[in-house]
C-alpha cells in the first residue's frame, strides 16, 4: 500500500456524532477543522437525522461496532494522527472505546482535546446517567486540554452548579482547561487555565438560545492549535470565530434557530 503519513498536513481524528441536519458535532467540526488546513478524519459515534435539541422524532443510528472496526482498520493501514478530538458519545462503552483509541494512536506529540459533552444550563442531558459522567472524567484524564461549559465543569468536578469558574478551573486536573459560556453581566466568555496561568476572554452576550456553540468553539480551537498557535492565542482566535458566527446567526433569526451560521463566516474567509 502507498504511504498515507508524512504529507506535511496535520491530521485530526474527530470522534463525535454526525447530526446530519442541525449543525453541531461532526457537521460543524469537519468543515471548520478543514478550513484551518488540517485533514479531518471522522470517527462517528452515531449518525442522527437531526441533533436532539428541538426536533421531534429524530432517528439515531448507534455506531459503537463501527467505531471499533474503523479504528482496527486504521491501525492496520498504520494511520497516524497529530490530534484526537472527542465530543458526543452515546454510552459509557463508547467513551471506553475512545480511551482505547487514544492509548492506541496517541503519543507524546499528539494533541488530545476532549470536549466533555454532558449537559448545559445546569443539567445533565437526559440521555446520560452518573456512570457516563464517571467515564467522562476518566477520558478527561487523558486530555491535554478540555473545553467544558460551566455545567460540564461542575459535573466533572462534582461541584455545585453555581461554583465560580476560577474554582472549577482549579479543580479540573487536566494540564489545560477552557471553561466556556461564563456569564458576567452583559458579557459572556471563556475562563481558562494553561498550566498554572489563568486567562479569560469576554464577548457581548447575545440574548437568544443558541445550539452547538460549544461544538463550533472546540472545532475552531482545535483548528487554531493545529496551526501552531499558543494555548492563549488559539483561545482568542476561536472566541473571535464563534462571536462572528453568533452575529451572523442573530441576523438570520427567527428561521435560523437550530445552530450557528458558521458557513457565513467560513465564506468570508474563503471568498475574496
Ligand atoms: O452540541 C452537543 C450535541 C452533540 N450531539 C448531539 C446533541 C448535542 C446536544 O444536544 O444532541 C446529538
Q: How far is the CA of 187 from the centre of ligand 1 (A)?
A: 24
Taking only the tens place, the pLDDT of each residue in 44-55 is 999 999 999 999
Distances (CA, A) of 251 to 152, 160, 190, 247, 271: 29, 35, 23, 6, 20
Determine if ligand 1 sits within 6 Å of the CB of residue 212.
Answer: yes
Q: Is residue 38 a contact partner of residue 229, using CB atoms and an 8 Å limit?
A: no
When pLDDT is cut at 50, 70 and 90, the band that residue 225 belongs to is very high
Inform me whether the pLDDT recorded for 1 exceeds 90: no
When pLDDT is cut at 50, 70 and 90, the band that residue 34 belongs to is very high
Taking Cα atoms as reference points, which of 243, 252, 161 lies closest to residue 205?
Answer: 243
Inform me whether the pLDDT recorded for 12 exceeds 90: yes
Residue with cell 459509557: 92
Mean pLDDT score, 188-214: 96
Q: Measured between alpha carbons, how far apart are the two ends of the chain, in Å?
A: 39
Taking only the tens place, the pLDDT of each residue in 48-97 is 999 999 999 999 999 999 999 999 999 999 999 999 999 999 999 999 99
Distinct helix (H) and strand (E) counts, the chain = 9, 11
**Burial 116-152, CB ≥16 within 10 A → b, else e:** bbbbbeeebeeebeeebbebbbebbebbbbbbbbbbb
Taking Cα atoms as reference points, which of 194, 204, 199 lies closest to residue 172?
Answer: 194
* C-alpha R_g of the chain: 18
Determine if ligand 1 sits within 6 Å of the CB of residue 86.
Answer: no
Inform me whether the pLDDT recorded for 272 exceeds 90: no
Determine if ligand 1 sits within 6 Å of the CB of residue 17.
Answer: yes
Taking only the tens place, the pLDDT of each residue in 164-184 is 999 999 999 999 999 999 999
Determine if ligand 1 sits within 6 Å of the CB of residue 180.
Answer: no
Nearest 5°: the CA angle 191, 197, 198 is: 20
Mean pLDDT score, 133-141: 98
Q: Is the dihedral of CA 212, 187, 263, 71 positive or negative?
A: negative
Q: What is the DSSP string of 76-102?
A: HTT---SEEEE---SSHHHHHHHHHHH
Determine if ligand 1 sits within 6 Å of the CB of residue 117.
Answer: yes
Q: How far is the CA of 144 from the centre of ligand 1 (A)?
A: 23
When pLDDT is cut at 50, 70 and 90, the band that residue 24 belongs to is very high
CB atoms within 10 A of CB 89: 28
Q: What is the spatial distance between Cα 133 and Cα 121, in angstroms, rounded to a whole number?
A: 16
Count CA within 13 A, CB hemisphere, residue 132.
16
Q: What is the DSSP string of 162-185?
A: T--HHHHHHH--SSEEEEEEEEET
Q: What is the spatial distance between Cα 231 and Cα 233, in angstroms, rounded to a whole number?
A: 6
Amino acid at each position: 500500500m502507498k504511504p498515507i503519513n508524512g504529507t506535511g498536513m496535520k491530521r485530526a481524528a474527530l470522534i463525535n456524532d454526525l447530526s446530519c441536519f442541525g449543525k453541531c458535532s461532526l457537521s460543524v467540526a469537519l468543515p471548520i477543522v478543514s478550513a484551518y488546513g488540517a485533514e479531518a478524519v471522522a470517527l462517528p459515534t452515531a449518525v442522527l437525522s437531526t441533533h436532539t435539541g428541538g426536533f421531534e422524532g429524530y432517528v439515531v443510528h448507534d455506531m459503537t461496532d463501527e467505531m471499533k472496526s474503523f479504528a482496527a482498520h486504521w491501525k492496520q493501514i498504520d494511520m497516524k494522527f497529530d490530534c484526537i478530538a472527542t465530543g458526543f458519545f452515546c454510552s459509557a462503552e463508547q467513551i471506553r472505546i475512545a480511551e482505547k483509541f487514544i492509548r492506541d494512536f496517541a503519543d507524546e506529540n499528539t494533541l488530545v482535546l476532549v470536549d466533555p459533552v454532558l449537559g448545559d444550563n445546569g443539567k445533565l442531558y437526559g440521555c446520560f446517567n452518573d456512570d457516563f459522567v464517571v467515564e467522562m472524567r476518566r477520558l478527561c484524564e487523558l486530555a491535554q486540554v478540555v473545553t467544558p461549559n460551566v455545567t460540564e465543569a461542575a459535573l466533572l468536578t462534582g461541584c455545585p452548579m453555581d461554583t465560580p469558574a476560577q474554582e472549577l478551573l482549579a479543580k479540573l486536573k487536566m494540564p489545560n482547561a477552557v471553561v466556556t459560556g461564563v456569564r458576567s453581566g452583559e458579557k459572556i466568555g471563556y475562563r481558562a487555565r494553561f498550566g498554572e496561568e489563568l486567562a479569560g476572554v469576554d464577548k457581548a452576550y447575545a440574548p437568544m438560545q443558541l445550539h452547538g456553540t460549544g461544538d463550533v468553539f472546540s472545532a475552531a480551537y482545535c483548528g487554531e492549535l493545529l496551526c501552531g498557535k499558543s494555548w492563549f492565542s488559539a483561545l482568542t482566535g476561536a472566541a473571535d470565530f464563534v462571536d462572528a458566527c453568533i452575529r451572523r446567526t442573530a441576523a438570520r433569526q427567527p428561521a435560523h434557530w437550530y445552530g450557528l451560521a458558521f458557513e457565513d463566516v467560513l465564506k468570508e474567509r474563503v471568498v475574496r
